[in-house]
Amino acid sequence: MTGQATLRPQGIGTNLTWLVQQLWEREEQAGRVRVSIDGTVPPGFRPVEQFAVVPHLGRARFLIPLHSRRAAWASTARYNALRPLRVRLPRAVIGAGMRAGLAQRLLHDRLVVCVADDTDPAVLPHLLLGAHLRDLLGGQEVAMAIGIGDAAPNRKPTLQLFAPDGRALGYAKLGWNELTRHLVRNEARALRACAEHRLRHLSVPRLLAYSRWNGLELAVTAPLPTGVRRHRPPGRVPPLEVTREIAELHGVRSQPLLASSYWANVRRLVAEHRTAGDPRLGPALERYQGLLQRRCAATTLTFGSWHGDWVPWNLAWEGARLFAWDWEHSGEEAPLGFDLLHWHFQLAFIGEQRSPSAGIARCLRDGVPQLVRLGVAEPAARDSAAIYLLELVLRAARMNAMGAGWNPRFYPEVLSVLAAQGAEGRSWTT
């Protein structure tokens, strides 16, 4: 692989090709940075970074930094308690082999990053993300372990950052297109807001740095404690005082739904999708929004902040302390309890791979009673579930418009859910 005009050898997967293009083949690096996948160093260049490709070049999922034996071990062993068993076991085996120096010889596929021999060290932070991260972290030498997701416009290069001695230094996300840059910016904003408040019931990663680098937007957060464990069991909702504390980040206020800035934004978004994309979507959203406007004409709700993706796989515990990450979809104006409704919908839809209809049924069966315990009056709690369905579809529509596409299990089936739950006279019961 050599610069912008790289020819892809046979056997190189599209995921790895995409990652190389994002990190090492940007316009600013042309002619100065080259990537080799056969272990050789091009004439006139010198190696600066080396990675083992797991499981292999054709189906790369993870790049292990070969900066040092301890960094290689840490990249596969640290935070294994957060991963499911099917991922944890092979990583533990690879990690043990890395620490002993054996896996380095068994993992044959390599990716070597090289820079031109005459490169001035002062310009390395402009050419190499690793050097830029070193500067952001105060000159600390950085080894990057890089995760590679499946092809999708909303995937992002995700980096675990380690010192040569294996200490965790942080975690980084990179936004590379309109959608992912927006998500990275939003998460940085939310983490700053959390840092300004002394949260009693929740810990969040500290934002170490926010930067723009060669067209990418980069957020670097502090590492989680090494002793964190997965949230178990998945169906157990965290204490309700955590949900309330998140809601109170920017203060809470009670007002009629139809007079709220939240509802004004909903109406604006529905209008934006009136003629966009699938001709079925706009009319379905308008019908459902109109029905809610009639149904909720007298509804008063409490509004506050929400995490936006409150799910078991974004949480971990260290003893009795709860940690939450992935604040990309957070917002400052949402009905109190939306995080609980989102929890139950996603547990059914993502966790159990069930239908959108089953997800909404879970919201009504399990989420509404929890909103009541949170202090939301029962009629308003059911109205909140009806509003959350519209919020869910609008989020998916916004992401589709920004290039992420539709989840085929969600759309167009959710149109029938809107029609069924939006039927005049329906009392929003399971």
SS (H, E, C) 332-370: EEEECCHHHHHHHHHHHHHHCCCCHHHHHHHHHHHHHHH
SS (H, E, C) 203-242: ECCCEEEEEEECCEEEEEECCCCCCCEECCCCCCCCCHHH
Rounded to whole angstroms, how far apart are CA atoms 396 and 324?
Answer: 22
Rounded to whole angstroms, how far apart are CA atoms 311 and 313?
Answer: 6
* Cis before 234? omega within 30: no
Whether residue 239 sits in one domain with residue 262? yes
Q: Mean pLDDT over residues 43-68, rounded?
A: 92
Q: How many domains does the chain have?
A: 2
Whether residue 255 sits in one domain with residue 183? no
Whether residue 247 sits in one domain with residue 158? no
pLDDT digits over 87-116, tens only?
Answer: 655 665 565 666 656 555 667 788 999 999
Whether residue 187 sits in one domain with residue 265? no
Whether residue 100 sits in one domain with residue 60? yes
Whether residue 392 sits in one domain with residue 374? yes
pLDDT at 100: 56
Residue 173 lies in a domain: yes
Whether residue 180 sits in one domain with residue 91? yes
Phi-psi region of 101 (alpha: psi -120 to 50; beta: other; left: phi over 0): left
Q: Mean pLDDT over residues 292-313, rounded?
A: 96
Q: Which of 71-75, 357-361, 387-391 has the lowest mean pLDDT?
A: 71-75
Residue 312 lies in a domain: yes
Residues forming a β-bridge with 65? 51
The percentage of the chain sitting over the pLDDT mark of 90, rounded to a whole number, equals 75
Whether residue 348 sits in one domain with residue 283? yes
Q: Which of 197, 221, 245 is the last residue of a domain?
A: 221
Residue 130 lies in a domain: yes
pLDDT at 4: 42
Question: In the 8-state DSSP scheme, what is residue 273?
Answer: T
Residue 426 lies in a domain: no
Whether residue 21 sits in one domain with residue 139? yes
Range of the domain at 413: 229-421
**Higher local confidence (pLDDT), 404 or 302:** 302
Residue 262 lies in a domain: yes
Residue 25 lies in a domain: yes
Q: Which of 221, 240, 267 is the last residue of a domain?
A: 221
Whether residue 84 has pLDDT greater than 80: no
Whether residue 50 sits in one domain with residue 100? yes
Whether residue 153 sits in one domain with residue 37? yes
Q: Mean pLDDT over residues 375-381, rounded?
A: 96
The CA–CA distances, whole Å, from 376 to 211, 279, 305, 373, 392 equal: 40, 36, 15, 7, 20
pLDDT digits over 57-75, tens only?
Answer: 998 989 999 988 899 888 8
Residue 284 lies in a domain: yes
Q: Which of 19-23, 100-104, 198-202, 253-257 has the lowest mean pLDDT?
A: 100-104
Q: Which of 170, 187, 221 is the last residue of a domain?
A: 221
pLDDT at 188: 97
Residue 428 lies in a domain: no
pLDDT at 425: 45
The CATH number of residue 252's host domain is: 3.90.1200
Q: Mean pLDDT over residues 6-32, rounded?
A: 85
Whether residue 250 sits in one domain with residue 127? no
